[in-house]
Amino acid sequence: MYKYLFRQSFRASIIQIRNYFVVILGLIIISVIFLESVIRAIYSSSFSLSDNLLMVSVIMSVAQLFILLFRKVLVFAMHPAAIHFFFNSNKINCFKTALFVKKIITNVIISFLLCLIIFNFKLSVNLCVATFILWAYFMMGSFIRWFKYARHKFAIITTFYLCSSILFVLSFASIITIAGVPLFILLAFIVYYNGKVKIDWGKYYDDSVYANKIDTSARHRNMAEMQQINTEHIAKKKHSIRIYHLPLNKNNALLGKALIETFRMSKQVMVVLGILLVFTVLLNKTSIFSGIPLIGDPNISYVFCMFSIGTFLVNLREIYSKQILSICDKHEKGFFIPYTFKKIVSSYAIVCCFVTTLILVILCFIFLPGLIKSIIVLITLNLGMTLSFLMQSKKRVTKLVNIIINLIFVIGSRFLL
């Protein structure tokens, strides 16, 4: 069976290279050129992240929290065929061990590369020690995500995360160097504790099949199958709030649908958009990035802030535009919807403008652009949102119009700063 799994993996890699040869070749060339210039710049730079290890360790612990909360990829992904053939035999333990070793190697490589960047690509004893500490933290993060996948007790998962993060920050930032010892002891205990955690193998097998189907479709560039698999997967997803839970009538049904779709917005997208806004606030109101070349320059940081807020607004508009077009597309394909296009737009525009206004008001309180300027910006950007939705009718939104609307968002963001 090992032979067949290796052969299948090798064939899948050949198929992917054949179907994406030009893309892969381009990425390799660009990566080599980009990395060569970046490594040279970091190596010769006087600025070093190793001088701010406390900030780096805190950022990594926060990133670990986001990964724990929002990343849904299987931590230890076994091939469905291996589960099917070896589940009731001792061979399944060999596959578990292989997945564990694979995760160790992956985390060692990632930890080493990150520490190279932190220490300006200069080999030293501190770099080796930091690599092992970071590797231990990443391994614990992988097991904590595995416990979360197994729907283990929330209190235990939270305790493991907090203890590992505190010990990591103390040892990585050299606040208490000896904290690295209990960090590795905690890792050993978590590995031992993993044997006590019960896994829903039925759910695990279904998720493995789903991941394998998506991977196979992507390798063969079968976009229609990928869309179908994803649609079926979303349809099976359980939601706590559904549209029939709301007090519906003909006038508020679309508004309720828009609200529910807002609550169901992808968590990953929300995190990315939130990071853009947090980055803008930190860059504009703090001196955290002042020592970093390019970004620390006040004039350039101003441009970064403007484009970050503009990018947030552009992506928010795209999310609601796609929802509006989705309803219109269903209507064109024969699904009767007893609403005019303007009614559909007005319902989604109310929700979108409410979200936009809420975010912009918070930014106005932070950046303090002035009352009159704040009101003008709020009105202008919300009007831009609404007009862009209305222009979706009859395919009237061209690339030029999209560019103009996006420029309005970016330029309007300038007056908030």
pLDDT in the model for residue 248: 65
Q: Are residues 318 and 377 in the same domain?
A: yes
Residues in the chain: 417
CA distance 244 to 260: 11
CA distance 170 to 33: 37
Torsion angle, CA of 285/286/288/290, rounded to 10 degrees?
Answer: 80
CA distance 213 to 79: 11
Residue with structure tokens 């709030």? 241
Tell me if 139 sits within 8 A of 104, measured CB to CB. yes
Please indicate, yes or no, whether the overall pTM of this predicted structure exceeds 0.95: no
Query: How many structural domains compose the chain?
Result: 4
Q: Which of 191, 213, 236 is the last residue of a domain?
A: 236
Minimal CA–CA distance to 265: which of 319, 227, 315?
Answer: 319
Predicted confidence (pLDDT) per residue in 348-383, tens digit: 888 888 888 988 888 888 888 888 888 888 888 888
Q: Are residues 387 and 248 in the same domain?
A: yes
pLDDT in the model for residue 242: 61
Q: Are residues 59 and 23 in the same domain?
A: no
Residues 76-86 have a mean pLDDT of 79
pLDDT in the model for residue 134: 92
Q: Are residues 220 and 190 in the same domain?
A: no
Predicted confidence (pLDDT) per residue in 176-190, tens digit: 878 888 999 999 999
Task: For residue 245, name the pLDDT band (cuts at 50, 70, 90).
Answer: low
CA distance 343 to 252: 10
Task: For residue 304, name the pLDDT band (cuts at 50, 70, 90).
Answer: confident
Predicted confidence (pLDDT) per residue in 209-240, tens digit: 887 877 777 777 666 666 666 666 665 666 55
Q: Are residues 55 and 117 in the same domain?
A: yes
**Is pLDDT above 80 for 89?**
no
Q: Are residues 261 and 408 in the same domain?
A: yes
Task: For residue 32, name the pLDDT band (cuts at 50, 70, 90).
Answer: confident
pLDDT in the model for residue 216: 75
Tell me if 102 sits within 8 A of 75, measured CB to CB. no
Residues 81-91 have a mean pLDDT of 77
pLDDT in the model for residue 105: 92
Q: Are residues 40 and 54 in the same domain?
A: no
Q: Which of 236, 251, 286 is the last residue of a domain?
A: 236
pLDDT in the model for residue 137: 93
pLDDT in the model for residue 268: 67
More confident residue, 334 or 290: 334
More confident residue, 92 or 8: 92
Q: What is the DSSP string of 244-276?
A: GGS---TTTHHHHHHHHHHHTS-HHHHHHHHHH
Residues 123-134 have a mean pLDDT of 89
Of the chain, the percentage scoring pLDDT greater than 90 comes to 10
pLDDT in the model for residue 138: 93
What is the domain range of residue 79? 49-199
Q: Are residues 109 and 19 in the same domain?
A: no
**Is pLDDT above 70 for 332?**
yes
Average pLDDT, the chain: 80
Q: Which of 146, 176, 199 is the last residue of a domain?
A: 199
CA distance 216 to 54: 42
Angle at 255 between CA 404 and CA 310, to 5 degrees: 25
Task: For residue 324, name the pLDDT band (cuts at 50, 70, 90).
Answer: confident
Q: How many helices (H) and strands (E) does the chain have?
A: 16, 0
Q: Are residues 5 and 41 in the same domain?
A: yes
Tell me if 161 sits within 8 A of 65, measured CB to CB. yes
Q: How many other C-beta atoms lie within 10 A of the C-beta of residue 271?
A: 15
**Is pLDDT above 60 for 394?**
no
Residue with structure tokens 């394909």? 333
Buried/exposed 350-369: b ≥16 CB within 10 Å, e otherwise: ebbbebbeebbeebbeebeb
**Is pLDDT above 70 for 165?**
yes
Torsion angle, CA of 262/264/268/270, rounded to 10 degrees?
Answer: 20
Q: Are residues 9 and 117 in the same domain?
A: no
Q: Are residues 361 and 279 in the same domain?
A: yes
Tell me if 301 sits within 8 A of 283, measured CB to CB. yes
Q: Are residues 22 and 67 in the same domain?
A: no
